[in-house]
Amino acid sequence: MDLSRFPRRRYTEGATPIEPLPRFSAALAATCPGGRGPEVWIKRDDLLGLSPGGNKTRKLEFLVADALAQGADALVTCGAPQSNHCRITLAAAVKEGLRCRFVIEERVPGSFDEGAGGNHFLFRLLGVESLRVVPAGTDMAAAMRAEADALAAEGRRAYVIPGGGSNALGGLGYVACAQELQQQMFEHGTGFEHVVVGSGSSGTHGGLLAGFLGNRIAIPIIGIGVSRDPAQQAPLVHAEAQAVCDLLGLDLAVPAAAVRCVGGYWQPKYSVPNARMVEAVQMLARTEAILLDPVYTGKVMAGLIGLARDGAFAPGERVLFLHTGGAPSLFAYDSVLLGRGTGLAP
Ligand SMILES: Cc1ncc(COP(=O)(O)O)c(C=O)c1O
């Protein structure tokens, strides 16, 4: 598949590393049936560029290139109060000399805190132009269009990036990731039986799936939901994967069976901590000194741990965990991660 026909900015030098997690795998095996578990590896998309980067960096390489091609002088996007997507979009805007505005959805009522740390602190440090807070359930597309219209009235030109950067163009970032991974497996002679990834606005899961299908990579992708159970999440991922395949001009109908979603790890609510997330964040930090985040990758790793304990992976099978970033929001959840109080900071 030829991605070179799509304009792209580059925010990362080279490929993100793939590393084995021997101490984590041993700790996990000790809690699995018969004391045996999978061999867990990690792809470090938390080391992508953009202050600090994560999965949005890959999507923004294509989205920002499109914004520049359209002559935009501002990016407008949306997310939750601790949105990694908003922070990374702002970082891309800074790097390109653009301004950036957010519409923030207060998904958990009362959770927006003007003085919060984590990503909210970084919004201010990186110089967001404006940040409008709206209640849960607001039509975010309409709210972002209103921001763009306000800029147009001032003679400016906004480029609107959907929540999570998850449209067909953004999904190309994870087609590029699939190609990068394929090359790494070829160069290092390392194969995997499973890939585990977070599934939220679905650009990562759907884009990766499109990349696997288009490049004939036959490894199943397991998407752990961070805000929805499979009945709601699978159709979103399927639509995203199909849109990406269509944009690429692949004559391919995404098979429903290729969309594997797992639920049950994100509750009680998107962004609200649970005990399994705390265990996963502590376990990876204390065995491999790698930081997960409380909203996404902590719950996704909790899913991987749960699946291993339920026997979903045969002993010794290689499971690749895609680390999608997000560590800044650890600093908005420090109490709960150290087991003190509830410390809820959604
Ligand atoms: C750190 C992190 N991981 C995973 C996700 C989920 O990715 P997606 O929205 O592409 O499904 C997000 C989304 O914001 C994220 O910030």
Residue 9 in any domain: the answer is no
Among left, alpha and beta (phi > 0; psi -120 to 50; other), residue 71 is left
The C-alpha atoms of residue 61 and residue 59 are separated, in whole angstroms, by: 5
Task: Write out the H or E segment, with its range, that includes residue 285.
Answer: helix 275-288
Q: What integer pLDDT is reported at residue 339 of this predicted model?
A: 78
135: CATH: 3.40.50.1100
Residues in Cβ contact with 239 at an 8 Å cutoff, skipping those fewer than 6 apart? 202, 206
Q: What integer pLDDT is reported at residue 1 of this predicted model?
A: 84
Same-domain check for residues 226 and 141: no
Residues 130 and 182 in one domain: no
4, 25, 51, 83: the active-site residue: 83
Q: Within a domain: residue 344?
A: no
DSSP string, 46-92: GGSTTTT--HHHHHHHHHHHHHHHTT-SEEEEEE-TT-HHHHHHHHH
124 and 264 in a common domain: no
| Residue 264 shares a structural domain with residue 154 | no
State whether the beta carbon of 166 lies less than 6 angstroms from ligand 1: yes
| Residue 340: pLDDT over 90 | no
Task: Using pLDDT thresholds of 50, 70 and 90, give the confidence band for residue 344.
Answer: very low
What pLDDT, on a 0 to 100 scale, did the predictor assign at position 343?
47
**pLDDT of 108:** 86
92 and 81 part of one domain: yes
Domain boundary pick from 107, 133, 165:
165
When the pLDDT of each residue in the chain is averaged and rounded to a whole number, the result is: 96
Query: What is the model's pLDDT at position 341?
Result: 55
Picking from 115, 130, 165, the residue at the C-terminal end of a domain is: 165
Residues 194 and 239 in one domain: yes
Question: Which pLDDT tens digit goes with each residue over 303-330?
Answer: 999 999 999 999 999 999 999 999 999 9
As a whole-number percent, the residues of the chain with pLDDT over 70 amount to 98
Classify residue 5: in a domain, yes or no.
Answer: no
Ligand 1 atom nearest to 163, measured from its CA: 9
Nearest to 261 by CA among 290, 213, 225: 225
Cα(296) to centroid(ligand 1), Å: 6
> Does some domain include residue 346?
no
Q: Is 108 left (phi over 0), alpha (psi -120 to 50) or beta?
A: beta
In a domain, 342, yes or no: no
- Residue 13 maps to a domain: no
Q: What share of the chain has pLDDT > 90, as a percent? A: 95
Q: Are residues 257 and 310 in the same domain?
A: yes
Mean per-residue pLDDT for 224-241? 98
Range of the domain at 261: 18-53+167-337
Mark whether 269 and 130 lie in a shared domain.
no
Write down the pLDDT at residue 345. Answer: 45
CA 54–ligand 1 middle distance (angstroms): 8
CB of 201 shorter than 6 A to ligand 1: yes
Q: Where are the alpha helices (DSSP H) in 74-222?
A: 84-96, 118-125, 140-153, 168-188, 203-214
Of 56, 167, 233, 296, the residue with max ligand 1 atoms within 8 A of its CB, to mutate for a pocket test, comes to 296
- Predicted local confidence at residue 111, as pLDDT: 85
If asked whether residues 261 and 175 sit together in one domain, one would say yes
271 is catalytic: no
Please report whether residue 6 resides in a domain.
Answer: no
Residue 338: CB atoms within 10 A of its CB come to 11
| Count of structural domains within the chain | 2
Q: Does 175 map to a domain?
A: yes
Q: Is the pLDDT of residue 213 over 80?
A: yes
Q: Tens of pLDDT along 74-99?
A: 999 999 999 999 999 999 999 999 99
Residue 166: band (very low, low, confident or very high) from pLDDT cuts 50, 70, 90:
very high
Give the pLDDT mean for 6-30.
98
Boundary residue ending a domain (165, 180, 207): 165
Tell me, using a 6 A CB cutoff, whether residue 199 lines ligand 1: yes
Ligand 1 centroid, distance to 301 Cα (angstroms): 13
Q: Coil, helix or strand for 1?
A: coil
Q: How far apart are CA 303 and CA 305, in angstroms?
A: 5
Q: Are residues 34 and 161 in the same domain?
A: no
pLDDT at position 216 is: 97
CB of 297 sitting under 6 A from ligand 1: yes
What is the per-residue pLDDT for 107? 87
pLDDT in tens, 196-208: 999 999 999 999 9
Using CA atoms, how far residue 265 sits from 221, 230, 276, 296, in Å, is 17, 11, 8, 10
Q: Are residues 191 and 256 in the same domain?
A: yes
* 333 Cα: distance to centroid of ligand 1 (angstroms): 18
Residues 44, 102 within the same domain: no
54 lines ligand 1 (CB under 6 A): yes
